[in-house]
Amino acid sequence: MAAAPPLIIPVENQVRELDAKLLLACLAAQRGFESILGSHREIDLHIASFPRGLYLNKSMTARNLNMFHILGRLGHRILTWDEEALVHLPPEIYYSRRLSPEAIRFVSHLFAWGEDNAELWRNWPHLPAEIPIHVTGNPRNDMLRPELRPFHEEEVRRIRDRHGDYLLVNTNFNHVNAFFPAQNLFRPGTAKGGRPAFGKAGVGMPLDFARALHGQKSAVFRAFLQLIPELARAFPRCSIIVRPHPTEGQSVYREAARGFANVHVTNEGNVVPWLLGARALVHNGCTTGVEAYVMRIPAFTYRPAVCAAIDDTFYRLPHGVSHACFTAEDLVAGLQDVLAGRLGAADGEERERLVRRHLAGMEGPLACERMLEVIAGIAAREPALPGPPLGSRIAGRALAAARLLVKRAKAYLPGSHAPPEFHRHRYPGIPPEELASKIGRLTAAIGTGPPPRAEWIAPHIVNIRPPEGGRSA
């Protein structure tokens, strides 16, 4: 009997995605599936060397189109969710930025975070009628559930041993403080009064919305830079942990923290253990506000500048599930109440309804398990994916080879939005012993038997296989 097609699981932002996708691979191994897991960039560059499989993508934009053509010619099946569909832009802007009518035609199945995400897709005029939408939740949901707390305990203990009591400040200003200027909403150097040139974050946005978002983000960004020393002075016995967005530059925060021994700027590891160890979270429109709500961590959305066009649409969910503070004084008072035990996590029926509409898979089977039910059904119907014609395979390999050369060359061109140092920042890699530790802790937390086997097949790519003697799908 033919082996089931492997799962190909690319990871773009290591600190944000790796743990959740590793959980998916571990659960898949218990069902007999092999998974090829690792750096999104490296997996795509080496795609022609892998067997035909189920490629689990995280977006379906125009930028995906070339890769989707290659995947299709090589005989891979594409299943997709959207990492940006939980806290999302207003529908028409979301559609223009995140969905491509051409790219979606290569996708065979969609996995939604929750009913809000599913409805967003259903209302898109270009959604092909034959593509099923599965409201499963997202693997990142699973990392917030009580069942996975044991996985985080070791890291939480290490963080608390190092920092003691701390307040977590999560920033979300990659639109105006990106790791490289070309990734911002607007490219630098645009003459005042002229039409600005969009950066990577602004592509697909109407100019008026992009300008409003830029103004809002810039104002709140400046206020957060002023807030850091204020918190350091207001809470001298607490550490203030500033955690920038994975694609933000960090130097400006280090400058704001200069001279304060209790302020630390870090993007180390996944945010979940940092949330679990924190006394409280401060954010503005950040997904971590939703994660804190789910895990019952007191969270404050600091809103020193307000723009209804942004706050009531784009950031409705994270604002809605957090305590709102509009001045630094109110924020300090709220944090003092938390530290004194007078205030806990935000709650209420309206907040709970809001979260349940956006997040499926928070009770019962894990989101990963729900996704694997769909995947198992695909494998049962097609235990071996049909091979494309020889000409298609040759064309796919040629396109993959050409793409590799172009990507390697473009990375070193001036003005590149993704030079090599950015890829190293986004996916620094994980030592084999650390990966083995994560696999062991995940397997122990979910109680599925012996851990799967991990075989490194490239510096940033690992094959997760069923445990010795385990069943095959």
Tokens of 399: 């396109």
How far CA 19 is from CA of 220, 439, 446, in Å, comes to: 30, 9, 13
For residues 259 and 115, state if they share a domain.
Answer: no
Average pLDDT over residues 374-390: 90
Q: What is the CATH number of the domain that holds 91?
A: 3.40.50
For residues 324 and 413, state if they share a domain.
Answer: no
For residues 256 and 378, state if they share a domain.
Answer: no
For residues 353 and 423, state if they share a domain.
Answer: no
pLDDT digits 0-9 by tens, 271-303: 999 999 999 999 999 999 999 999 999 999 999
Q: How many other CB atoms sit within 10 Å of the CB of residue 189?
A: 8
For residues 234 and 347, state if they share a domain.
Answer: yes
Q: Tell me if 1 is assigned to some domain.
A: no
For residues 128 and 195, state if they share a domain.
Answer: no
**Of the candidates 318, 338, 358, which is a domain's last residue?**
358
**Of the candidates 322, 340, 358, which is a domain's last residue?**
358
**Of the candidates 358, 390, 407, which is a domain's last residue?**
358
Q: Tell me if 225 is assigned to some domain.
A: yes
For residues 198 and 51, state if they share a domain.
Answer: no
Q: Tell me if 46 is assigned to some domain.
A: yes
Q: Tell me if 441 is assigned to some domain.
A: yes
pTM here?
A: 0.94
> Confidence class of residue 427 from pLDDT cuts 50, 70 and 90?
very high
For residues 299 and 164, state if they share a domain.
Answer: yes
> Confidence class of residue 405 from pLDDT cuts 50, 70 and 90?
confident
If one counts the domains in the chain, the total is 2
Tell me the average pLDDT of the chain.
94
Residue 208 has pLDDT above 50, yes or no: yes
For residues 168 and 138, state if they share a domain.
Answer: no
For residues 120 and 139, state if they share a domain.
Answer: yes
pLDDT digits 0-9 by tens, 43-75: 999 999 999 999 999 999 999 999 999 999 999
Average pLDDT over residues 128-139: 98
Give the pLDDT confidence score for residue 306 in this predicted structure. Answer: 97
Q: Tell me if 322 is assigned to some domain.
A: yes
Lowest mean pLDDT among 36-50, 177-191, 230-244, 437-451: 177-191
Average pLDDT over residues 341-350: 98
Q: Tell me if 454 is assigned to some domain.
A: yes
Q: Tell me if 470 is assigned to some domain.
A: no
d(CA 403, CA 417): 17
> Confidence class of residue 238 from pLDDT cuts 50, 70 and 90?
very high
Tokens 């207003």 found at: 90
d(CA 268, CA 263): 15
Lowest mean pLDDT among 33-37, 119-123, 253-257, 401-405: 401-405
Q: What is the CATH number of the domain that holds 293?
A: 3.40.50.2000
For residues 377 and 339, state if they share a domain.
Answer: no
Give the range of the structural domain holding residue 193, as residue numbers without chain letter: 160-358
For residues 428 and 300, state if they share a domain.
Answer: no
Q: Tell me if 18 is assigned to some domain.
A: yes
